[in-house]
Structure 1
Amino acid sequence: METSGTLVHARLDPVDGNHDWTLTWSNAGHPPPLLRTPDGNVAQLLEHDVLLHGSLGPFDRTEHRRALLPGSTLLLYTDGLVERRGRDMDAAVSQLVALLARHGNRPLDEVLRRISNRLAHPTPEDDVVLLAVRTPSIPQPQRC
C-alpha cells in the first residue's frame, strides 16, 4: 500500500538575554501555521516543501525561522478544519485568520473553542485538531 501525508514540524526556542522566542519549522504540504502578533496581526506561514510521498523520493527539508515577540500566538491545525467538499479552502483559511485576529488575545482554551465552534463541521469527514501556543508576555513590574 502506497501512503502519503502532510505534517508541520515546529520548535520554539527562547532567545538568550530577552523575552523573545524563535520559531523554527518545516512544512511538508500541510495547511500553513498561523502566527498572531501581540498587536493582533495574523500572518500565514506559507513557506513549505512538498508533501511526504514515496514516489517523490528523499530530499532535504527546508527549515524556516521567525522571531516571536512576547505574547505571540502560534496556531497549528489539521486540514480537516478548513477543507471539505463544496467549500473553498482559501476562504475557510481566511475566516480562520479573521477569527484568530479578533479573538486571539483571549485565553487559549477560549480561542480554540471559538474557532472549533465556527469552523469545524459537526460531523467532520477528516480529523480536526487544533494546537495553540502563546509565548509568555513580559512581566509587568509590581506597584507598591
Structure 2
Amino acid sequence: MDASGTLVGAHLRPRPPTASGEAGGRQMTWTSAGHPAPLLDEHGAMVFPGLSTRPRTDHRQHLRPGSVLLPVTDGVVERPGQGMDQAIKEAGRTPAAHHGLGLPRILDGIAGRSLETTPGHDIALLALRPPLAQLAVS
C-alpha cells in the first residue's frame, strides 16, 4: 500500500475550580505524529508548543477558560517557499487578531487567510474554547 498520514491525538479533562472559585479550564494531553502542533490563543497571545524532530512524546497543556485551541492541518499553515516555523507564527496571528470573537468568526478568518494564500490546498479546522464558568455537576 502506497499511503501515509499524520496524526494529532488529544484527550481533554476538566480541571477543578481554582481556590478563588474561578473555572479551572481543561487539561489537554496531546501527541503528534508528523503533524503540526495545535495553535493555542491565550487571551490574544499565541502560545506555540513547537515542532520537534524528537521521538513522539505526550505533552500536557493547561487550557485556561476563554482560551482558544486550534488543531490545524498542514494546509492551514504551509506556505510555498516559507519555513514551517515561520508559517506557524504567521498562522497564529489570525486567531490572535480575532481574539474575543465567536469561534465561527475565528474559523472564518483562518479559512479566508488559508484560501487566499494557498488556493486549492485542503484545510480542516476545529476550535475549542473552555467555558469561562464552571458547569454545575449533579
Paired AA for residue 64 in structure 2: L
| Alignment-derived partner of residue 4 in structure 1 | 4
- Give me the CA root mean square deviation: 2.3
Q: Distance in 1 between matches of 2:17 and 2:89?
A: 36
| Alignment-derived partner of residue 45 in structure 1 | 49
Pairwise CA distance, 1:17: 4.2
| Alignment-derived partner of residue 76 in structure 1 | 71
Question: Could you say what secondary structure the match of 2:127 adopts?
Answer: strand
TM-score norm. by structure 1 comes to 0.76
Q: List alignment gaps of at least 5 residues for structure 1.
A: 51-58, 140-144
Give every structure 1 segment of 4 or more consecutive aligned residues whose post-TM-superposition deviation is greater than 6 Å. Answer: none
Q: List alignment gaps of at least 5 residues for structure 2.
A: none
TM-score norm. by structure 2 comes to 0.78
Contact (CA 8 Å) 1:9, 1:25: kept in 2 or not?
yes
**For 1:1-144, what aligned pairs fall within 5 Å after superposition?**
1-18=1-18, 19-20=23-24, 21-38=26-43, 40-46=44-50, 61-121=56-116, 123-125=119-121, 127-138=122-133
Contact (CA 8 Å) 1:27, 1:48: kept in 2 or not?
no
- Deviations, residues 62-89 of structure 1 (Å, cap 9, x unaligned): 2211112111110011111222444444
How many residues end up aligned between the 2 structures? 128
Pairwise CA distance, 1:43: 0.8
Q: Percent same amino acid at aligned positions?
A: 40
Paired AA for residue 111 in structure 1: I
Contact (CA 8 Å) 1:36, 1:74: kept in 2 or not?
yes
- Would you tell me which structure has more strand in proportion to its own residues? 1
Paired AA for residue 119 in structure 2: T
Q: Distance in 1 between matches of 2:53 and 2:8?
A: 10
Contact (CA 8 Å) 2:28, 2:60: kept in 1 or not?
yes
